[in-house]
Amino acid sequence: MRILVPLAVLMLAAAPAGAASVDRTDPQHLTPPPPGGYDLPLSPPVVRFPLPSQWLTIKGDVDWRKAGVFDKKLSDACATRNFTEKLPMRFRAAYKGEILGVAFGHGLNLNDPGKLADPKMIYLFRNGDSTQCGVLKMPNDDPRISSKPEATRQP
């Protein structure tokens, strides 16, 4: 009995060594890549706490240049990081050929240390995280916003 147990263990250990090993999978077993390659979306950023769901407003038939009025002063402030979105692309607007970041003049998702924003406007950011930032503004038609009196600003 004592001789049989080590002999059985020795035979089990030697069995895989004698088997033929496969170096790699035969290319014929894999499906070919689709024409044009794989166009996979980028993964979302890894954050400690997951972000709430993002809102997406779609205006597929309108060009992004006609979405609002271009504002040079706010675009220059955006390029110097003085008028930006708090969380880039937290709110998004999809127009024909472009996706723009959205911030609201009353302060939602807006970093405005110079107090340049009008509370009754919506701001659209194109390339909002670069020095080539462009800001378009459009009126906020929400009746809750338009019914508020104009706030007095103190310098």
Domain residue spans of the chain:
55-142
| Model pLDDT, residue 91 | 86
d(CA 67, CA 6): 81
Please list the ranges in the chain whose pLDDT falls under 70: 1-25, 27, 36-60, 145-155
**Rg from Cα positions in the chain:** 29
pLDDT tens, residue by residue, 2-34 = 555 555 555 555 555 555 665 666 767 777 777
pTM for this entry: 0.60
| Model pLDDT, residue 155 | 46
Q: Hey, what are 5's tokens?
A: 């147990």
Place of tokens 């110097």: 80
Closest CA to 67 of 111, 100, 110: 100
| Model pLDDT, residue 80 | 92
Report how far apart, in Å, the C-alpha atoms of 110 and of each of 1, 28, 42, 113, 126 are: 81, 54, 25, 9, 14
| Model pLDDT, residue 75 | 94
